[in-house]
Amino acid sequence: MTKRGAESEPAGLFEERNRPQPCGGIARRSFLKSCATLGAALGFLPFAKPLLASSTAPETQGRRKKQVAVIGAGAFGGWSALHLLRRGASVKLLDAWGPGNSRASSGGETRIIRATYGPDRTYVRMVVRALQLWQEAEKRWNRKLLYRTGALWMAGTQDEYEKASLPLLEEADVAFETLTPAEAAKCYPQINR
Q: What angle do CA 30, 116, 109 make, to 5 degrees?
A: 70
Number of Cβ within 10 Å of residue 191's Cβ equals 10
Instruction: Write down which residue in 40, 74, 100 finishes a domain.
Output: 100
Instruction: Write down which residue in 74, 100, 126 finishes a domain.
Output: 100
The whole-number pLDDT of residue 171 equals 95
The whole-number pLDDT of residue 37 equals 59
| Co-location of 117 and 150 in the same domain | yes
| Co-location of 118 and 175 in the same domain | yes
Alpha-carbon gap, residue 126 to 117, rounded angstroms: 11
The pLDDT profile of the chain, 193 residues, written as one tens digit per residue, is 433 343 333 333 333 334 444 444 555 555 556 655 565 555 554 444 444 444 444 554 557 888 999 998 887 888 899 889 999 999 998 988 887 777 777 766 777 888 999 999 999 999 999 899 889 999 999 999 888 888 888 888 889 999 999 999 999 999 999 998 899 889 999 987 6
Any domain includes 6: no
| Co-location of 156 and 179 in the same domain | yes
Task: From 27, 53, 28, 32, select the one nearest 42 (Cα to Cα).
Answer: 53
The whole-number pLDDT of residue 31 equals 56
| Co-location of 116 and 165 in the same domain | yes
Any domain includes 185: yes
Any domain includes 16: no
Residue type (1 letter), 102: S
| Co-location of 88 and 147 in the same domain | no
Any domain includes 154: yes
| Co-location of 116 and 88 in the same domain | no
Any domain includes 174: yes
The whole-number pLDDT of residue 62 equals 59
| Co-location of 131 and 75 in the same domain | no
Domain range for 78 is: 22-53+65-100
Domain count across the chain: 2
Any domain includes 14: no
Any domain includes 49: yes
| Co-location of 114 and 190 in the same domain | yes
Alpha-carbon gap, residue 44 to 150, rounded angstroms: 24
| Co-location of 80 and 146 in the same domain | no
Any domain includes 17: no
